[in-house]
A and B are shown apart, each in its own frame.
Chain A
């Protein structure tokens, strides 16, 4: 739809609207717009790029705005800078393993339930709608999904306490807020990622506190 608007604007000699988009299949996470007050438009498990005009009535007025969050400065029109999400992952959202020199893929059996749980969390597309929908501008669904995905897998458990501690610290440093249980994030998530992962994040954080990897009793080792 925005393509068509832009085509018209160009024909009329006006500036087209800048907006982020790429795969148009709802998987790359590039598209980002608040439609009628709701990130991605408010249709269940749907990104903006997969939101069809047939969902609206002829003559409806659409209000289109960029993501709103302190951690996502606006670059132009509907385009925001989501570099902070990358910084959260860089803070520890990975398993440290060198290329080569890893054991056979079947060496470590992983329960089907565990693999499914990890996959439920891992399908996050990193669009940032959860942040945009949160009244606190929190990225806890995003961080929770990554922490949970890696913490449930045996190969991710080695670094689990450090990971959660560092990602939470980065969350603070990047200007994201904290969760106060509005559940707006789950409601707008195009992948339907559950807030149960925020609960998992909190439990993992508690473990890190007890292990003195973070907080007032953080040990220096």
Chain B
């Protein structure tokens, strides 16, 4: 099937305005008759729930954490992009649009990206009004800094805690609506099924993580903001609880999952230190504004302390390879360059998997005080984890899985192919193409929640009668039974291997065979191994406790089971996309200098996969991508 993203045609500058005036509205008195279920309360979920509640809808919001303030957006450090052009350095909506399309290696829908660039400015205004303490200059105006993949300074920030401050802004707006009674908040609940009635999304089934109760909430629309899936790899920068589960359950109920193979590996993470490590920690990309990446030029220098290696024997490889972007090359490009140096035997640190990120020159230029002001908390965090003082010795960094560009397929209205199911933020596939630029995730989450969904959901609701389905509907009852049966099945295996054990096995396989470099061979191998892991999981997993209690092991087991199934789809998508683009790098397809070689003749489309039942191969649907405002070209940062 050829999918239609329903993006408006005509001059792109006015698409969103024209579309907004074409959409239907719900009259204020009728809004309160509609119930909207928002799953996840990160930037996208919290901003959507707050805004929809404020408009007068009846909103129910759900998160697995104990409070909506803890979603993993909170860990985003560097900043949020907007085309404000405050520094007067030539920025514009078009440039942000262009950089995002190019950064995504021409694999995203133009109109969606344009809208994102356009509303980016409103986001900054909104956050300032909420009291987000963005960095200011001495005149009291907003400060910006540069991020990868851009030659302008358009990234707004709040020290190294921008994600935290933006999330707390959205959380405060959400709290205000909870108090007003328009939003009912359900923390410590996990969505375990989507209820579809007559082809439309009408509810969710969840497990109360405290009591273990499984129940169904019915509504008129479901807004999924459940984040990304890179915890499918062992050791990512995601929080421990981040999972594919909500997305996967929607997929199994018929929602198309698009471009799962587009995963982002972030170049600047603290290298792995030991076997017991449970996750990796990111060091903000903003550090590459002032830090310089290097490795010893000669292999015999690898073991020496960095001070003992003279300037001439250091290879500032990013500056060498990408003179015009230098250390601010985009994430996929920089990650591969780092891996290349380490594979060449010039990696540093105890494992040889690391490169230096050196601030010596910045300290000389700006002084330690200024650096402390800009990145103080990041240096502190680095010291806490590695026990090294980065003001004195260079940091060591290595790439780690960080973000999922792929996700559930949505049209221009952010609605999936299941009417009534909207998908926002990282959980959808819409704007980042095959690679996301730094400081764009925060922008997308808030754009979707504050400025897109309030308009597009009305267009759907205006066409449906409120309250058609209640929790006593047979579909809801069946869904509850299914969820209970799954828990029972997990608990009844009573095997001898822990959930973590399986998760590690799967994650290591994915990292080695479907990580930064992928090939026909590695992917085929993964595809033949995953079914065996799945089989063994269902024979040997040990889940202690019962389902009628607070049982984190049971939660993890459910998530791991979904990750195992999802991993297969990810590899299948990666195998089918026989080209390199953005974060998806097939070793068979590269230029002589090692850059990704796209194949626009064959793959200029988004791949949306449809579930066809247990054991049956999923069906591929294509949404062709048309580029009318930017020219398809080789993405170069040289």
Interface residues of A (CB under 8 A from B): 3-4, 6-7, 10-11, 13-16, 18, 20-30, 45-46, 50, 52, 54, 75-76, 79, 81-83, 85-86, 89-91, 93-100, 102-106, 108-112, 115-116, 118-119, 122-123, 125-126, 149-150, 153, 155-156
Contacts of A155 in B (CB 8 A): 128-129, 131
B128 touches A83 (CB 8 A): no
Shortest 8 CB-CB distances between A and B: which pairs? A109-B140, A94-B172, A102-B129, A118-B133, A119-B133, A105-B128, A115-B136, A97-B129
Q: How far is the CB of A171 from the nearest CB of chain B, in Å?
A: 15
A22 touches B72 (CB 8 A): yes
A149 touches B65 (CB 8 A): no
From B65, B68, B142, A105 is in contact (CB under 8 Å) with B142
Q: How far is the CB of B485 from the nearest CB of chain A, in Å?
A: 23
Measured CA separation A90–B126 after assembly (Å): 19
From A11, A26, A28, A30, B381 is in contact (CB under 8 Å) with A26
B250 sits at the interface (CB 8 A): no
From A28, A93, A97, B65 is in contact (CB under 8 Å) with A28
B67 touches A83 (CB 8 A): yes
B125 sits at the interface (CB 8 A): yes
Q: How far is the CB of A52 from the nearest CB of chain B, in Å?
A: 8
B172 touches A93 (CB 8 A): yes
Contacts of A123 in B (CB 8 A): 159, 161, 164
B545 touches A111 (CB 8 A): no
Contacts of B139 in A (CB 8 A): 109
A95 touches B129 (CB 8 A): yes
Q: How far is the CB of A105 from the nearest CB of chain B, in Å?
A: 4
A95 touches B544 (CB 8 A): no
What are 20 of the A-B contact pairs (CB < 8 Å)?
A22-B239, A27-B161, A27-B164, A82-B67, A83-B187, A86-B68, A86-B175, A89-B171, A90-B176, A95-B129, A99-B51, A102-B126, A105-B125, A108-B128, A109-B136, A109-B139, A115-B136, A119-B165, A122-B168, A150-B131
Measured CA separation A139–B187 after assembly (Å): 21
Measured CA separation A196–B127 after assembly (Å): 26
Contacts of B179 in A (CB 8 A): 90-91
Q: How far is the CB of B92 from the nearest CB of chain A, in Å?
A: 16
From A26, A90, A105, B175 is in contact (CB under 8 Å) with A90
Measured CA separation A45–B86 after assembly (Å): 35
Measured CA separation A219–B13 after assembly (Å): 52
A18 touches B552 (CB 8 A): yes
A112 touches B126 (CB 8 A): no
From B50, B66, B172, B384, A30 is in contact (CB under 8 Å) with B66
Contacts of B172 in A (CB 8 A): 89, 93-95
Measured CA separation A30–B175 after assembly (Å): 18
B141 sits at the interface (CB 8 A): yes
Nearest residue in A to B178 (C-beta to C-beta)? A90
Q: How far is the CB of A44 from the nearest CB of chain B, in Å?
A: 10
Q: How far is the CB of A136 from the nearest CB of chain B, in Å?
A: 23
Measured CA separation A123–B84 after assembly (Å): 25
Contacts of B70 in A (CB 8 A): 22-23, 28-30, 126
A119 touches B178 (CB 8 A): no
Measured CA separation A54–B54 after assembly (Å): 49
Q: How far is the CB of B568 from the nearest CB of chain A, in Å?
A: 26
B385 touches A50 (CB 8 A): yes
Measured CA separation A116–B239 after assembly (Å): 28
B130 sits at the interface (CB 8 A): yes
B75 touches A106 (CB 8 A): no
B130 touches A115 (CB 8 A): no
Mark interface residues in B222-253 (1 if CB within 8 Å of A CB, else 0): 00000000000000000111000000000000
From known contacts A10-B498, A86-B69, A89-B172, infer whether A28 and B75 are also in contact, taking CB-CB under 8 Å. yes
Interface stretch, picked from B199-207, B274-282, B391-399, B579-587, is: B274-282
B135 sits at the interface (CB 8 A): yes
Measured CA separation A85–B500 after assembly (Å): 32
From known contacts A24-B240, A83-B66, A99-B50, infer whether A18 and B175 are also in contact, taking CB-CB under 8 Å. no
B384 touches A3 (CB 8 A): no
Measured CA separation A93–B551 after assembly (Å): 32
Contacts of A125 in B (CB 8 A): 74, 164
Of A29, A97, A104, A153, most buried by chain B (CB within 10 Å of CB) is A97
B133 touches A94 (CB 8 A): no
Measured CA separation A122–B611 after assembly (Å): 45
Measured CA separation A11–B553 after assembly (Å): 13
From B133, B171, B498, A115 is in contact (CB under 8 Å) with B133
Measured CA separation A90–B86 after assembly (Å): 34
B522 sits at the interface (CB 8 A): no
B137 sits at the interface (CB 8 A): yes
Mark interface residues in B129-153 (1 if CB within 8 Å of A CB, else 0): 1110111111111100000000000
Q: Which of B35-70 contact A (CB under 8 A)?
A: 47, 50-51, 54, 65-70
Contacts of B450 in A (CB 8 A): 99-100
Nearest residue in A to B130 (C-beta to C-beta)? A95
Q: How far is the CB of A118 from the nearest CB of chain B, in Å?
A: 4
Q: How far is the CB of A122 from the nearest CB of chain B, in Å?
A: 5
Q: How far is the CB of A143 from the nearest CB of chain B, in Å?
A: 14
Q: How far is the CB of B226 from the nearest CB of chain A, in Å?
A: 14
B523 sits at the interface (CB 8 A): no
Beyond contacts A93-B172, A155-B131: 11 other A-B pairs, Cβ-Cβ < 8 A, are A18-B552, A22-B72, A27-B75, A28-B72, A86-B185, A95-B131, A103-B125, A104-B125, A116-B133, A122-B131, A155-B129
Contacts of A27 in B (CB 8 A): 74-75, 161, 164
Nearest residue in B to A4 (C-beta to C-beta)? B276
B542 sits at the interface (CB 8 A): yes
Nearest residue in B to A22 (C-beta to C-beta)? B239
A103 touches B129 (CB 8 A): yes
B498 touches A11 (CB 8 A): yes
Contacts of B500 in A (CB 8 A): 3, 7
B451 sits at the interface (CB 8 A): yes
Q: How far is the CB of A211 from the nearest CB of chain B, in Å?
A: 21
From known contacts A109-B141, A122-B133, infer whether A102 and B74 are also in contact, taking CB-CB under 8 Å. no
B387 sits at the interface (CB 8 A): yes
Measured CA separation A82–B307 after assembly (Å): 48
A97 touches B130 (CB 8 A): yes
From known contacts A10-B542, A99-B126, infer whether A115 and B134 are also in contact, taking CB-CB under 8 Å. yes
From B47, B142, B384, A26 is in contact (CB under 8 Å) with B384
From B69, B124, B282, A29 is in contact (CB under 8 Å) with B69
